[in-house]
Every structure is written in C-alpha cells, then in structure tokens.
Amino acid sequence: MRWFATIALVLWAGAALALDPSEMLADPAQEARARALDHEIRCVKCQSETVASSNADWAQDARRAIREQVAAGASDAEVKAWFVARYGDFVLMDPPKTGANLVLWVAGPLMLLAGLGLAAGAAARRRRLPEPAQPLSEEESARLRDILNRE
C-alpha cells in the first residue's frame, strides 16, 4: 500500500475546496459582492462551471482577481469588463444582451405568441365549420330500432 499512499499524498495538493478562507476578503459586504460575481464568471479552463464552484487553478486566480478589484473599489460592471477584455464574452455566464444575442430572450415569448395565435386560428376555423353529422353505424341503427320498437 505504500505506493498508494505516496500517490495519494502527491494528489492531495490538488484536492482543494473551491473557495478557501484564505482567499476571502475581510469586509463581509465586499466578500458577499465578490461571491455573487464568482457565480457570474465562467471558469474558462473548466466545463460549464463558474469560478464559484470550480477548484481549478484558473478559477482560484479568477477569484483572486475579482477580490483584488472589489477591494480596490471597482463596480460589478467594471470587474466583468475586466474579464471580458481578457477572455471575451465566453467568460460571462450571462451572454451580453446586444445584437444577435437578443434572439435568445425574444425567442421564447415570440414562440408563445405564435403558439397562441395558431391555437386561436384553429379554434376560429373550427367554430366556422359546423360539427359534421356522423351517419349512424350498422350497430347503432340496430340499437336505435330496438329502442324504438320497445316503446
């Protein structure tokens, strides 16, 4: 088991938690803001993870960068702009609401309207057509005769 333990010890260094207390800001209000920003910045070295939950080195560096700027008095928008300038829009979990990206937000409501329109159209068409009278089937006419004869 010795090799087992050796490898384990080597690996242990990487087994960090996402956010370590030593990274955190002393001012709770500032730390809360930084923590909220953690959830909006993507870890670009990871897969669909924010820097809030990733324990990759890149995410740790990103959290440090966020906290340095927050401590220096930067606004949320300024911190995000800092990341976008370096890593592009990819680094934001929420894509910028400009240009073609607007399709994302209007697609759902537009489709809802289209669906409602189609349904209303179909309903209107149906109301114009009277319900077609169905001729009785053999069996039904037989039953009708039975009932009529009985009386």
Is residue 61 part of the contact set for other proteins (CB under 8 A)?
A: no
With CB under 8 A as the contact rule, which of the stretches 35-43, 57-65, 73-81, 143-151 interacts with other proteins?
Answer: 35-43
Is residue 76 part of the contact set for other proteins (CB under 8 A)?
A: no
Is residue 141 part of the contact set for other proteins (CB under 8 A)?
A: no
Helix (H, G, I), strand (E, B) or coil at 35: helix
Minimum CB distance to other proteins, residue 69 (Å): 20
- State which residue, 17 or 73, has the beta carbon closest to other proteins: 17
- State which residue, 8 or 73, has the beta carbon closest to other proteins: 8
Is residue 7 part of the contact set for other proteins (CB under 8 A)?
A: yes
* Burial class of residue 138 (count of CB atoms within 10 Å of its CB; 0-12, 13-18, 19+): exposed
The tokens for 45 are: 């070295």
Task: Kindly report each contact of residues 77-81 with a partner whose C-beta sits within 8 Å and lies 24 or more positions away, as own/partner.
Answer: 79/37, 80/37, 80/40, 80/41
Is residue 36 part of the contact set for other proteins (CB under 8 A)?
A: no
* Burial class of residue 128 (count of CB atoms within 10 Å of its CB; 0-12, 13-18, 19+): exposed
Hey, which residues between 82 and 121 contact other proteins (CB under 8 A)?
88-96, 100-101, 103-105, 107-108, 111-112, 115-116, 119
- State which residue, 14 or 73, has the beta carbon closest to other proteins: 14
Minimum CB distance to other proteins, residue 54 (Å): 10
Q: What's at 141, amino acid-wise?
A: S
CA distance 69 to 33: 11
Is residue 30 part of the contact set for other proteins (CB under 8 A)?
A: no
CA distance 20 to 54: 11
Q: How many residues bind other proteins (CB under 8 A)?
A: 54
